[in-house]
Amino acid sequence: MIDTIKLVLPFSKRPHWYEKARFQHGFDADTGLFKAVANPSSENKKKGIYQPRLTYTERPVRGGKNYELAIELSLPKLMFNNNFSELDDADFEAIVKKLSDTIRTTYGIWLFPHQIRQASVRKIDYSKNIIFTDRTPVSNVLANVRTADVSKVYDIQNTDFRNGGHVYHIHSNSLDIAIYDKVADLKQERTSPKRSREKDGYVQMSLLDELERQKTVTVTRLEVRLNGLRKIRSELAKVGVTHGISFEEMYSSDTSQKILMRHWQNIFDRIPKGLLDSDTAEHLLINIKKANEDMKMTEALARVGYAYLRQDKDERYVHNLLEGLFNPSQYRRFKQKNREPPNPTQLKTLLHITNTLTAMTPVSIEDYTF
């Protein structure tokens, strides 16, 4: 469903609540931009109380000013004080009421429910927690995902493997995809908050303690972040969604499922064959042979060699290396023969992610703690 979202509410003039609102003010003399911000207090952070982040702006335009209030928040953290538990469509009105009440009591800002419902969405994080009750290590998932050649489906600035291998990350200006170990990231938040994937993890430390104590599951988290109206509209069109970009319209488990599945499938389909469930060169060779009984020894060994090149280097580097050392047509033929889907036995773990996204059933922390 949706985790973090940025809502923008326009006003025709300075709102009546502004003078009493609890903001920190600022003014840019060069641009004429007036900005006031309201962030979670250090006292509430210590208490583990979640608060949205607000930014009010007055921007000079021809003939007057634009007045806007931006609200950025994690919807599940607002409702549950964690984002392990997930929301569904039936929670929308409860979210609107809780957000309105929280903003009023915390910052002194009065917003009507219809204003929140009709707010424009400018940034949105779709997410799903994939639960492994057999405690499949998230590192196994990430090692498989890392081998995907996504260079032709994403105009990416960066693909990396962060925080000691706990986060696989694809990044561009308007799109951010992450697959990571939820529990390991919470540990990172406790020791070095700036390096963790999640923000405002201070509200989830009790969740970490409980998951660590019980050790009943491992949690692989998939996130797709869309930045800006243009990107949001583009993604909606790609999955055949025609609704608008108000909060009320964007709050949809169906839309969330389509966006998450589209990007997961982009990665899943590009994981090279024979790299799965193989922790040594010997196991890899055996798996390749089992999946391809008629394969010749030279081709099987070539696949092992290629797999080990890709362990430490990205696809673009390996592409340039091999085309520089050998005839480029040989490399292209090799890649073409290695694009068929891996067999189901090797893909058991990754297929669990696909099945979880297909079902899109909300999870709750109460289901996994006792």
- The number of beta carbons lying within 10 Å of the beta carbon of residue 173 is 10
Q: Which residues pair with 2 in a beta bridge?
A: 126
- The number of beta carbons lying within 10 Å of the beta carbon of residue 118 is 16
Coil, strand or helix at 5: strand
H helical segments located in 203-312: 205-214, 229-238, 247-250, 253-268, 281-291, 297-312
Least confident interval from 50-64, 127-141, 145-159, 168-182: 145-159
Query: What is the reported pTM?
Result: 0.80
Q: Is the pLDDT of residue 141 over 70?
A: yes
> Contact 268/350 with Cβ under 8 angstroms?
yes
Could you report the per-residue pLDDT of 267-289, keeping only the tens digit for each?
988 886 555 556 678 887 887 77
Mean pLDDT comparison of 28-42, 99-113, 162-176, 272-286, highest-scoring range? 99-113
Cα–Cα distance list, 100 to 21, 77, 92, 121, 281 (Å): 14, 15, 12, 17, 57
Could you report the per-residue pLDDT of 288-315, keeping only the tens digit for each?
777 667 888 988 888 888 877 776 666 6
Contacts of 308 (CB under 8 A, 6+ apart): 281
Mean pLDDT comparison of 19-28, 98-107, 200-209, 327-336, highest-scoring range? 98-107
Cα 187 → chain centroid: 18
Element (H, E) at 351: helix 348-359
> What pLDDT is stored for residue 28 in this prediction?
73
> Contact 220/138 with Cβ under 8 angstroms?
yes
Q: pLDDT tier at 252 (50, 70, 90 boundaries)?
A: very high
The CA distance from 32 to 155, in Å, is: 35
> What pLDDT is stored for residue 122 in this prediction?
97
The CA distance from 29 to 34, in Å, is: 9
Mean pLDDT comparison of 13-22, 169-178, 232-241, 348-357, highest-scoring range? 232-241
> What pLDDT is stored for residue 282 in this prediction?
85
The CA distance from 213 to 224, in Å, is: 29
Q: Is the pLDDT of residue 199 over 80?
A: no
